[in-house]
Chain A
Amino acid sequence: MSRIDPVVLLVLLVFTVPILVQLRTVAFYLGFEPTVTQSIILGLAVIVVIVGWAYWPARWLPSEPEGCE
């Protein structure tokens, strides 16, 4: 069971992409200079975390179905 509707998750992931792309800009301003490969790996990591969050069993949440739709 996923925490959110799979389609909402998909939209959320698509939404994350411009943020990840601009994160690279922010990184450069802060003096980090990630290579393209590093940026891609970081982006994929964030996406994996979001997907993981969505599908991780929500055991520790209070029993009322708050996180779900």
Chain B
Amino acid sequence: MNVHDYEKLWIGLSMVLIVLFIGSITYGSVVAGVVMIDDAADPVDPDALGDHPDFGDPGVTQTGEDTYEVHVVAFHPGFNPDVIEVPANSTVTFHVTSMDVIHSFSIVGTNANSMVIPGEVSSMTVELGAPNRYGIVCNEYCGEFHHLMEGELVVVPEDEFELEADE
């Protein structure tokens, strides 16, 4: 089979390019430590979230000096809780699940973006800096009021932060 010289060169360059792309993604995963949403959390029963130890009473809990966990339940069309308050300069892990259809949990202007699938839990950890306000949207169509589905992440100064008293 006769392959033109330019063609050989092109194929060679294409392969180099492909390997470079794969390499840079691998670098992002292995060295820069960008973790993917995965199957780490156990499945949950979307019909019985009320009885779930964490999703039964969603919200913010403190797990360490500067670390917090937030459990969020997505439903059509909203998030529970819809306003999430966390202190500045903290590490926050979100655990999100759905009680009905597929949604997303996407903090606008950040990399925190995940599908939310009934029966599964999406966990993502973010480092928060200075006080700020971020919008949260659902970017997966979930029903006729999908466009009304939004929430807010409020990063408050550390000295103003108070955990909501748990009943």
Direct contact of A and B (CB under 8 A): no
- Taking Cβ atoms with an 8 Å cutoff, the residues of B that contact A are none
Q: B-contacting residues of A (Cβ < 8 Å)?
A: none
